[in-house]
Chains A and B, each alone.
Chain A
């Protein structure tokens, strides 16, 4: 029997994916919130004076960037509980993985953006008597943050898509929800197409939101 594409199944699947969409949103928003805090901290540590801070931050970035997120997720969810005897709920484990993973990449984005600001800006700030911290807060950070937006947008989109990997630790996110539907109706083509459409809608929303933010920040200061 030849395959026959049935568009109405795609349409009917979309509302059934909603539960999964919410989990994907929790993972992405929660993971990126903590990932941003982690990334800013690690990025600033990389530029700090104490050698220990720079070393720690460097090790964190190397470790996370150098191992697959899938491995990190399985290690945290299946491996760590064996050692500490404490099971982490899948959603919490998922948010931790996204946070720790995106944090490493965001650290590099933060560091790069700050270093791209001309040294003359720092000198001018210090020359009017501002402390190092004040110079960062009032002069360097606002300019660097604007430069971070495009690469941050990239990272947000990558992290959103990476939440699909967390199906392996049993988070009922979007892809897993789709897989469960396929297990019932065997319409893999239509269901995964619907899943892809929902991911695309979400990533395009992020891109749009960041474009608006960038536009607002650049027009306010011309």
Chain B
């Protein structure tokens, strides 16, 4: 589904990614964890080329995103994205947010888009809010709309960039529930997250990125109970401690 080989990304003098290799199979749920500034979001943003990799190979569903002949707009419909800050379109209703892509990119008929929009909003539990505007929603509701918007193009994979990090703690659950449902339906997902509980429960594989490289990866059970890399042990120690306090 996604193949990443020797991915490097440099911002000016700062080398954020120093050679990432990752293979993601269809239907897999991958959780990416690591300290802030480690480059985990950059990996995600290189997959749909919101950031252009400095070097390396990224292949998404057979499309080489570094090839200038690749239609990147098409690849982006195959790889939906959910952002930390939701990035809903504030001047459009919830329904319009969801149907914009199908209407303008897939060019489907307005009544079909409407049905699709309502179906997806029902799926994230927000059909009743279809005619509302984003600033009338809570953070959790906004993120669920953003997930519906990503789903509207029927992507083959969804990239989640810290989807719950901007939420009040009591709103995190509703977003994770929707994500769990997607995972159970077999959606391929790459999730950058600090939610260790979610990673442990839902992920097929957990990836630990630090200082621009993948330091450790494995199935969650092994990963969390028996971390080998000292940096991961250190990181988990801090994060788990924090969770126990909450």
- Most-contacted residue by chain B among A118, A130, A146 (CB, 10 A): A130
Complex-state Cα separation, A103 to B104, whole angstroms: 31
Q: Interface digits, A125-146 against B, CB 8 Å rule (1 contact, 0 not)?
A: 1111111001000110011001
Complex-state Cα separation, A11 to B152, whole angstroms: 65
- Is the beta-carbon distance between A129 and B77 smaller than 8 angstroms? yes
B81 cross-chain contacts in A, Cβ below 8 A: 123-124, 127
B85 cross-chain contacts in A, Cβ below 8 A: 118, 120
Instruction: Tell me whether B105 is interfacial, beta carbon within 8 Å.
Output: yes
Instruction: Tell me whether A121 is interfacial, beta carbon within 8 Å.
Output: yes
Instruction: Tell me whether B192 is interfacial, beta carbon within 8 Å.
Output: no
B46 cross-chain contacts in A, Cβ below 8 A: none
With contacts A130-B73, A221-B133 known, is A124 near B88, CB below 8 A?
yes
Instruction: Tell me whether B116 is interfacial, beta carbon within 8 Å.
Output: no
B150 cross-chain contacts in A, Cβ below 8 A: 127-128
Instruction: Tell me whether A49 is interfacial, beta carbon within 8 Å.
Output: no
Complex-state Cα separation, A121 to B91, whole angstroms: 11
How distant is A48 from chain B, measured CB to nearest CB, in Å?
Answer: 18
How distant is B77 from chain A, measured CB to nearest CB, in Å?
Answer: 4
A139 cross-chain contacts in B, Cβ below 8 A: 89
- Is the beta-carbon distance between B153 and A120 smaller than 8 angstroms? no
- Is the beta-carbon distance between B136 and A121 smaller than 8 angstroms? no
Q: How many residues of B contact A (CB 8 A)?
A: 28
A128 cross-chain contacts in B, Cβ below 8 A: 76-77, 80, 100-101, 105, 149-150, 152-153
In the complex, chain B residues 32-54 whose Cβ is within 8 Å of any chain A Cβ: 48, 50
- Most-contacted residue by chain B among A124, A134, A146, A222 (CB, 10 A): A124
> In the complex, what residue of chain B is closest to A134 when comparing beta carbons?
B104
B92 cross-chain contacts in A, Cβ below 8 A: 221
B149 cross-chain contacts in A, Cβ below 8 A: 124, 128
How distant is B41 from chain A, measured CB to nearest CB, in Å?
Answer: 12
Q: How many residues of A contact B (CB 8 A)?
A: 20
Complex-state Cα separation, A139 to B88, whole angstroms: 10
Complex-state Cα separation, A126 to B152, whole angstroms: 14
How distant is A137 from chain B, measured CB to nearest CB, in Å?
Answer: 9
> In the complex, what residue of chain B is closest to A120 when comparing beta carbons?
B87
Complex-state Cα separation, A131 to B72, whole angstroms: 9
How distant is B131 from chain A, measured CB to nearest CB, in Å?
Answer: 11
Instruction: Tell me whether B56 is interfacial, beta carbon within 8 Å.
Output: no
- Is the beta-carbon distance between A129 and B100 smaller than 8 angstroms? no
| Cβ contact of A130, chosen from B80, B105, B146, cutoff 8 A | B105
With contacts A128-B152, A134-B104, A221-B133 known, is A121 near B80, CB below 8 A?
no
- Is the beta-carbon distance between B136 and A129 smaller than 8 angstroms? no
| Cβ contact of B89, chosen from A121, A126, A129, A134, cutoff 8 A | A121
Complex-state Cα separation, A123 to B150, whole angstroms: 13
Complex-state Cα separation, A123 to B73, whole angstroms: 12
Complex-state Cα separation, A118 to B87, whole angstroms: 9
Instruction: Tell me whether B90 is interfacial, beta carbon within 8 Å.
Output: yes
How distant is A218 from chain B, measured CB to nearest CB, in Å?
Answer: 10
Instruction: Tell me whether B67 is interfacial, beta carbon within 8 Å.
Output: no
A125 cross-chain contacts in B, Cβ below 8 A: 89
How distant is B76 from chain A, measured CB to nearest CB, in Å?
Answer: 5
What are 23 A-B contacts with C-beta separation under 8 Å? A120-B83, A120-B85, A120-B87, A121-B87, A123-B83, A123-B87, A124-B89, A126-B76, A127-B48, A127-B50, A127-B76, A127-B150, A128-B101, A128-B149, A129-B74, A129-B76, A129-B77, A129-B101, A129-B105, A130-B104, A134-B104, A143-B89, A221-B133
Other A-B pairs beyond A130-B100, A142-B91, A221-B90, 14, CB < 8 Å: A123-B81, A124-B83, A124-B88, A124-B146, A127-B48, A128-B100, A129-B74, A129-B153, A130-B73, A131-B73, A138-B100, A139-B89, A143-B91, A146-B91
Interface residues of B (CB under 8 A from A): 48, 50, 73-74, 76-77, 80-81, 83, 85, 87-92, 100-101, 104-105, 133, 135-136, 146, 149-150, 152-153
Q: Which 6 A-B pairs have the closest CB atoms?
A: A124-B87, A128-B101, A129-B77, A120-B87, A127-B81, A129-B105
